[in-house]
Amino acid sequence: MLEHRPPDPPRTEEELLARVRALAGKTLGDIARPLHLRVPRDLRRDKGFVGQTLETALGARAGSRPIPDFWHLGVELKTLPIGKDGRPRESTYVCAVPVDALHGLVWETSHVRRKLARVLFVPVEADPARPIADRRVGRATLWSCDDDPERDTLRADWEELASLIRQGFIDRITAHRGRVLQIRPKGADAHDARATVGEDGWLLATQPRGWYLRAAFTNRVLDRHYARPAATS
């Protein structure tokens, strides 16, 4: 291959899908090498390595900006770490919970629904026993939350959690709530703090939180995809 620099962003959805199909079966080492990306020994200090490598390989340019990875296509890229059992090992971060700016939001206009409008899920082997460079990329699926059979559950979870936050109960929310969508801490550490409005209406400090899709849910997304006839080849 003469590819020694990151590709330009894909111009069309078809181009993006063709690129991601071409990655299926390759290892992270195969993908990182021509991009001159060093593969870390473990992910403890490089937790974003897999996602960032796939972004680069596919031509995403969003970086850490709050826009979709493929802005012009309206597509968000998410890698799914797949265990030996073939199921996602981890939940999937969606976006930050606007702990102090949820007023006036409904599901239709929520950040969660917008972020999940079109997601390209790319499964990647994540057996801890396998060296990172040897982990293979699987077949991707382009998914839309509005088309998912569990979309009503997604909405119901969002509405329940958003309602609790509006009522000032954010500090009473744990990751146990929500059947498919949950809220968990998402910050530098447990001492990270942001302002919010408490039960009594006063400002108080709380941990920053994020919306996450449960691993059991993304597992069902993959199941449904692979149960279908193969996409046009």
Partner DNA sequence: TATTGATCATGC
Partner DNA sequence: GCATGATCAATA
Distance (Å, rounded) from C-alpha 228 to C-alpha 75?
A: 21
Residue 188 binds DNA, judged by CB under 7 A? yes
Return the number of the residue (94 or 155) whose C-beta is nearest DNA: 94
Return the number of the residue (69 or 155) whose C-beta is nearest DNA: 69
User: At closest approach, how far in Å is the CB of 25 from DNA?
Assistant: 18
Return the number of the residue (51 or 230) whose C-beta is nearest DNA: 51
CA distances from 85 to 89, 136, 214, 219 (A): 9, 15, 17, 11
Contact pick of 65, 104, 129, 149 for DNA (by CB under 7 A): 65
User: Using alpha carbons only, how large is the chain's radius of gyration in Å?
Assistant: 19
Specify whether the CB–CB gap between 93 and 108 falls below 8 A: no
C-alpha closest to that of 54 among 19, 84, 89, 83: 19
Residue 45 binds DNA, judged by CB under 7 A? yes
**SS3 track for 156-180:** HHHHHHHHHHHCCCHHHCCCCCCCC
Residue 63 binds DNA, judged by CB under 7 A? yes
Q: Which residues bind DNA (CB under 7 A)?
A: 42-48, 50-52, 54-55, 62-66, 69, 76-79, 81, 89-91, 93, 95-96, 124, 126, 128, 174-176, 182, 184-192, 194, 207-208, 210, 214-216
